[in-house]
């Protein structure tokens, strides 16, 4: 709304909303920079999981409680991670969205 008031004369349009999200670096799935860092960390550094929230927190430089309360609910609802008794696990959607091939042991990023 604030963006619309400054850039769009108070009227919110699809184009204006898209421009605001682009400026905030939110992708087409609604992921911001920290969301991307969390998911990619699980895939790249921990072979897709399972990995504990505190380990993820240290790896991305954020408090575990913040990840659990702010970022994790959206990532679970959107289908990018699952919460298991052993830790967080990246889903097939996460691999697909970030262009990784899911492998039995680890990951492989697509080059093309």
Please say if the pLDDT value at position 22 is more than 60: yes
Predicted local confidence at residue 109, as pLDDT: 54
Tell me the residue range of the domain where 97 lies: 31-109
Kindly state whether residues 21 and 47 are assigned to the same domain: no
- 21 and 50 both lie in a single domain: no
**Same domain for 37 and 5?**
no
pLDDT band for position 26 (cuts 50, 70, 90): confident
Q: Could you give the number of structural domains in the chain?
A: 2
Is the pLDDT reported for residue 14 higher than 70? yes
Same structural domain for residues 55 and 103? yes
**CATH number of the structural domain spanning residue 73:** 1.10.10.10
* Three-state SS annotation for 25-61: CCCCCCCCHHHHHHHHHHHHHHCCCCECHHHHHHHHC
Nearest to 80 by CA among 38, 110, 108, 50: 38
pLDDT classification of 112: cutoffs 50, 70, 90: very low
């Amino acid at each position: 709304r604030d963006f619309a008031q400054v850039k769009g004369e108070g009227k919110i349009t699809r184009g204006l909303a898209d421009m605001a999200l682009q400026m905030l670096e939110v992708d087409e799935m609604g992921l911001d920079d920290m969301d991307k860092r969390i998911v990619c960390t699980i895939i790249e550094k921990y072979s897709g999981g399972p990995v504990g929230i505190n380990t993820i927190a240290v790896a991305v430089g954020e408090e575990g409680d913040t990840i659990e309360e702010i970022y994790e609910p959206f990532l679970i609802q959107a289908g990018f991670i699952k919460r298991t008794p052993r830790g967080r696990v990246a889903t097939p959607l996460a691999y697909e969205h970030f262009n990784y091939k899911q492998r039995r042991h680890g990951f492989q990023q697509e080059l093309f």
